[in-house]
Amino acid sequence: MFKKILIANRGEIACRVIKTARRMGIATVAVYSDADALAPFVQMADEAVHIGPAPAAQSYLIPEKIIAACKATGAQAVHPGYGFLSERTSFAEALAAENIAFIGPPVGAIAAMGDKIESKKLAKAAGVNVVPGYVGEIDDTDHAVRIAGEIGYPVMMKASAGGGGKGMRLAFSEKDVREGFESVKREGLNSFGDDRVFIEKFIENPRHIEIQILGDQHGTILYLNERECSIQRRHQKVVEEAPSPFVSPEMRKAMGEQCVALARAVGYYSAGTVELIVSGADKTGQSFYFLEMNTRLQVEHPVTEAITGIDLVEQMIRVAAGEKLAMTQDDIGIDGWAIENRVYAEDPYRGFLPSTGRLVRYRPPLAGWTDDGQANGRRGVDGVRVDDGVYEGGEVSMFYDPMIAKLVTWGQTRDEAADRQIAALDAFEIEGLGHNIDFVSAIMQHPRFRSGELTTGFIAEEYPEGFHGAPASAELQRALAGIAAFLATARADRARRVDGQLGKRLRPPSQWSVLVGGQTFAVELAGDEVTVDGALLDLAMEYTPGDSLVEAEVDGDVLGVKVKPTRGGFQLTTRGAIHQVQVLPARVAAYRAHMIEKIPPDLSRFLICPMPGLLVSLNVAEGDSVEAGQPLAVVEAMKMENILRAEKSGTVKTVHAKAGESLAVDAIILEME
C-alpha cells in the first residue's frame, strides 16, 4: 500500500480524498493555486505545494507542476479527483514515465472512452446500443447544419472532450445550429483543450441514468447499481439519487451487465461510470442507449456509497496499489435510498446567474445529532452528509466550478431521504452570494419529483417562467404568521428591557397583525398560547434577537427558519422560499395601508451584464436595428458561455463595451434608443 499520495485537485473532492486516505493511514499532499492558499483542503493535507496563479490553465492543468510536486514530496501516487487532469491520457502517461502510480484506470481505457466520438465507435462495435448520430469530425457550421438535417431535429451538439454540462447545445432548428455550433467549439477548447464537436439525435422525454463500475487489475469488474441524474439545468446535474425510481431489478441487471461488458472490452479497472439515456416513454425500460463513459470518480458518487456501504475512494486506492477487490457481484446490495443536491453559487431568483463573492456566512447543516442533541443551538439532521471545500469568510471565485457543497441524505425510503433533504436545506445557512438552496428544496417538495416521473426536461417544464420560490401552503403561511409574531414580541421585549434601564416601562403588545403572502393574520400571544385568526397554534420555539436561524416546533413538526430582521417585520426563509413578512401591533395595523410602494425603473432599453465575466463577442453596432429575442452578445462566466438577447425591438443607440473586456455584474453593455 502507498505511504503517501498527492491529490491533483482542489475543493470538496480534495477534502473527500484526504479524509479516506487519513483513515487508511496514508499521508497526503495537496497542490494549490494562489486563489486556494487558505482553502480547507490545503489545511487538511499533511503537506501542500504551491503550483501557480489562480487560472487553472496556469496551475491545476499543468502536468509538469503536479509531477514536480510529487518528486519534491516523495508522493508515490496521484489521485486526480474529477475534472482537470482526471481524464487526460498524457498526464497518466507522464506519471507512469516517472514511476508514479495513477489512481485511476489504465491509459488505454482513458483514451478509448474519454473521447466521446471514439467511445461511441467502440461501443457500437461492441454491440452496445448507441444514440443515432454522426460520430465523425465536423468541418464547420455549414457541415453541422447538413448533418443535423440528415439526423432530424432535435439534435444535441456536444464537445468531444466535454463534460459537466460544458460544451453542449440543444438545437431544434437550423437557426439553433448556426447560433450554437461555434459556442460549443469555443467551450470545448477553453474547458478541455479540444474543439471537436459531434452531433446526435436528442431523445425526447429522456431520463439520464448511469451505472457505477468498479474493477481491479485482476479481471474482476462489478456494477454497483445505478444513479438517477435526470434533474439537470443546462445539462449540468443538479439532483442525483440512488437507486432510480424508474429502474426495475431486471432493467438494472441488463444495464449493469452491458456496462460491465463494455468496460471489459477496454480492459478497465478502478472506478468509472457508464452514462445511459433512457426513453421515459418506454414503460418497459428496455430502450436505453450509451452516452459516454466517465473514466474517473463522479461528483455524485456519495449516493452510491450511501446505499452500498462501499467507500469508492478507498477501493480506487487499493486497486491502484494492485489489490484484488474483496467483494463479488452477489455482495452488492441496495440499502435504503440516497439523494444528493448540489449547492451552487448561482441565483435562481435571477435566472440562475452565476454568483461570485465572499461567503460572509457559511453554516452547513449538522450531520446527525451531537452528544447532547444540539450544537450552537442547532439541531442536527439524521442521515446527512455534507461534502464541501469552502469556509466562512472564504471566496467563491470566477476561476472554478460554482459548486459550494454537496448535500447528501439517506433514508429507508425515497420519501424519507427527500424529507431529510428539506430539513437539512432549511438548516443550511449561506450569506454573501446567491445560492440555489431554495430551488433544490422546492424540487424536493415538488409533486412530480415525489412521484418519480422525471426527465432531463424537468426544470424547464416545471419552471418555464423562472423560479420565484416554492409555493407556500395555507398551513405554512399560518405557521409563519405565528412565528413572526413571536419574533416581534421577542424583539419588542428586548427593547423594553433596554429601555427599562432608563427608568421607563414598556410592554410588548400581545396582539399583532401579520401580513404573509398577501394575506393578513390576526395573531395573539397569551402566556404559552398562540392563536392565529382565533385558532390555537401549537408553537414552541426560542429566539434571541440576532439569531439567524431558529427552529420552531409547529403542531408537532420541526421547522427550520432563517431570520433576517427588516423594517416593519422579518424576511423568513424556509421550505424553499423567501417570505417577506410584515408585523405590526394590531392597534397600528391600519397604518400599513399608507405605505408607499416604490415602482422599479424600466431598464429594458439597456443590455446589462447579468454576471461578472468576459465579453466574448458583441454582435451589433451603433445604429443597428434589432428584433426582440435577437442574440446581441455572448458573455463567458465560470467556463460557460451565456447568450444575451434583446428584450424588445429597437435601434442600438450607444455601445459601452467591446469584445475581450472583463465586465462586472450589472455593467451596461449597450443602450437602445
Q: What is the pLDDT of residue 541?
A: 93
Distances (CA, A) of 240 to 12, 84, 298: 17, 22, 11
Q: Which three cell numbers, joined as nine digits, stand for 118?
A: 471514439
pLDDT tens by residue, 5-17: 999 999 999 999 9
Average pLDDT over residues 526-542: 92
Residues 532/519, Cβ–Cβ less than 8 Å: no
Q: Which residues pair with 566 in a beta bridge?
A: 569
Whether residues 225 and 337 share a domain: the answer is: yes
335 assigned to some structural domain: yes
Q: How far apart are CA 65 and CA 322, in angstroms?
A: 26
Whether residues 634 and 614 share a domain: the answer is: yes
How large a percentage of the chain has pLDDT more than 90? Answer: 69
SS3 state of residue 633: strand
Eight-class DSSP state of 611 = S
Nearest of 571, 518, 522 to residue 549 by alpha carbon: 571
- Window from 270-279, 363-372, 521-530 with minimum mean pLDDT: 363-372
257 assigned to some structural domain: no
Whether residues 229 and 359 share a domain: the answer is: yes
Given a cut of 70, is residue 101 above it in pLDDT? Answer: yes
242 Cβ neighbours under 8 A, 6+ residues apart:
225, 226, 227, 228, 303, 304, 306, 307, 334, 337, 338
Q: Which three cell numbers, joined as nine digits, stand for 172?
A: 431544434
Given a cut of 90, is residue 25 above it in pLDDT? Answer: yes
Mean pLDDT of the chain: 90
Residue 93 banded pLDDT, cuts 50, 70, 90: very high
357 assigned to some structural domain: yes
Residue 364 banded pLDDT, cuts 50, 70, 90: very high
Given a cut of 80, is residue 344 above it in pLDDT? Answer: yes
SS3 state of residue 217: coil
Average pLDDT over residues 475-499: 84
Phi-psi label, residue 469: left if phi above 0, alpha if psi -120 to 50, beta otherwise: left
Q: Which three cell numbers, joined as nine digits, stand for 32?
A: 494549490
Task: Render 298-358 in DSSP notation, one character per residue.
Answer: -TTHHHHHHHH---HHHHHHHHHTTPPPS--GGG----SEEEEEEEESEEGGGTTEE--EE
Whether residues 501 and 566 share a domain: the answer is: yes
CB atoms within 10 A of CB 640: 21
SS3 state of residue 58: helix
84 assigned to some structural domain: yes
Whether residues 553 and 455 share a domain: the answer is: no
Residue 437 φ/ψ, nearest 5 degrees: -60, -45
Q: Does the global pTM surpass 0.75?
A: yes
Residue 508 banded pLDDT, cuts 50, 70, 90: low
Given a cut of 80, is residue 162 above it in pLDDT? Answer: no
Whether residues 58 and 162 share a domain: the answer is: no
Domain boundary residue among 562, 594, 626?
Answer: 594
pLDDT tens by residue, 422-468: 999 999 999 999 999 999 999 999 999 999 999 999 999 999 999 99
Residue 662 φ/ψ, nearest 5 degrees: -90, 130
Block residue for cell numbers 440516497: 338
Q: What is the pLDDT of residue 370?
A: 35
> Which has more pLDDT, 664 or 231?
231
Given a cut of 70, is residue 118 above it in pLDDT? Answer: yes
How large a percentage of the chain has pLDDT more than 70? Answer: 92
The count of structural domains within the chain is 5
Average pLDDT over residues 414-428: 97
What per-residue string of b and e applies to 99-125 under the rule 16 or more CB within 10 Å gives b? ebbbbbbbbebbbbbbbbbebbebbee
Residue 378 banded pLDDT, cuts 50, 70, 90: very low
What CATH number should be reported for the domain holding residue 560?
3.30.700.30
Max CA pair span of the chain: 89
The H-or-E segment that residue 490 falls in is helix 474-500
Residue 208 banded pLDDT, cuts 50, 70, 90: very high
What CATH number should be reported for the domain holding residue 611?
2.40.50.100
69 assigned to some structural domain: yes
Q: Which three cell numbers, joined as nine digits, stand for 433?
A: 452570494
* Cis amide leading into 154 (omega within 30): yes
Q: Of how many residues is the chain composed?
A: 673
Q: Which three cell numbers, joined as nine digits, stand for 283?
A: 414503460
What CATH number should be reported for the domain holding residue 189?
3.30.1490.20
Given a cut of 50, is residue 376 above it in pLDDT? Answer: no
Q: What is the pLDDT of residue 109?
A: 96
Q: How far apart are CA 116 and CA 160, in angstroms?
A: 5
Q: What is the pLDDT of residue 394?
A: 94
Average pLDDT over residues 339-358: 93
What CATH number should be reported for the domain holding residue 47?
3.40.50.20
Given a cut of 70, is residue 286 above it in pLDDT? Answer: no
Residue 371 banded pLDDT, cuts 50, 70, 90: very low
Q: Which residues pair with 563 in a beta bridge?
A: 572
Distances (CA, A) of 185 to 137, 193, 543: 12, 10, 54
Tell me the HSE value of 193 on the side-chain side, using a 13 A CA sphere.
Answer: 11
Whether residues 26 and 90 share a domain: the answer is: yes
Given a cut of 70, is residue 607 above it in pLDDT? Answer: yes
Angle at 490 between CA 539 and CA 472, to 5 degrees: 45
Residues 635/644, Cβ–Cβ less than 8 Å: yes
Describe the strand order of the beta sheet including 288-294 as a list of residue ranges.
288-294, 270-279, 206-215, 221-233, 236-242, 337-344, 403-411, 384-388
CB atoms within 10 A of CB 546: 9
Structural domain including 550 reads 474-594
Can you list the positions of beta strands (E) in 451-590? 511-516, 519-526, 529-532, 535-537, 539-540, 549-554, 557-566, 569-574, 577-585
Residue 374 banded pLDDT, cuts 50, 70, 90: very low
Whether residues 573 and 611 share a domain: the answer is: no
Residue 597 banded pLDDT, cuts 50, 70, 90: low
Average pLDDT over residues 506-512: 74
Whether residues 180 and 155 share a domain: the answer is: yes
Q: How far apart are CA 88 and CA 71, in angstroms?
A: 20
Domain boundary residue among 594, 622, 648?
Answer: 594
> Which has more pLDDT, 651 or 528?
651
What per-residue string of b and e applies to 559-583 under the rule 16 or more CB within 10 Å gives b? bbbbbeeeeebbebbbbbbebebbb
Q: Which amino acid is at 451?
A: S
22 assigned to some structural domain: yes
The H-or-E segment that residue 44 falls in is helix 40-44
Q: How far apart are CA 102 and CA 79, in angstroms?
A: 7
Q: How far apart are CA 355 and CA 397, in angstroms?
A: 9
160 assigned to some structural domain: yes
Q: What is the pLDDT of residue 494?
A: 67
Q: What is the pLDDT of residue 220?
A: 98
Q: How far apart are CA 89 and CA 170, in angstroms?
A: 29
Can you list the positions of beta strands (E) in 80-188? 101-102, 133-134, 155-163, 166-171
Given a cut of 70, is residue 282 above it in pLDDT? Answer: no
Q: What is the pLDDT of residue 188?
A: 85
Q: How far apart are CA 226 and CA 273, in angstroms?
A: 9
Residues 440/370, Cβ–Cβ less than 8 Å: no
Q: Which amino acid is at 284?
A: T
Whether residues 386 and 412 share a domain: the answer is: yes
Residue 369 φ/ψ, nearest 5 degrees: -100, 145
585 Cβ neighbours under 8 A, 6+ residues apart:
509, 511, 512, 513
What CATH number should be reported for the domain holding residue 235?
3.30.470.20
Whether residues 211 and 243 share a domain: the answer is: yes
Domain boundary residue among 546, 574, 594?
Answer: 594
Residue 285 banded pLDDT, cuts 50, 70, 90: low
- The residue annotated as part of the active site, out of 226, 228, 241, 292, is 292
- Burial of residue 71, with CB atoms counted within 10 A of its CB: 0-12 exposed, 13-18 middle, 19 or more buried: exposed
Please indicate whether residue 340 is annotated as part of the active site: no
Q: What is the pLDDT of residue 526?
A: 86
Whether residues 136 and 229 share a domain: the answer is: no
> Which has more pLDDT, 607 or 124?
607
110 assigned to some structural domain: no
- Window from 75-79, 276-280, 531-535 with minimum mean pLDDT: 276-280
Distance of CA 538 to the CA centre of its chain: 36
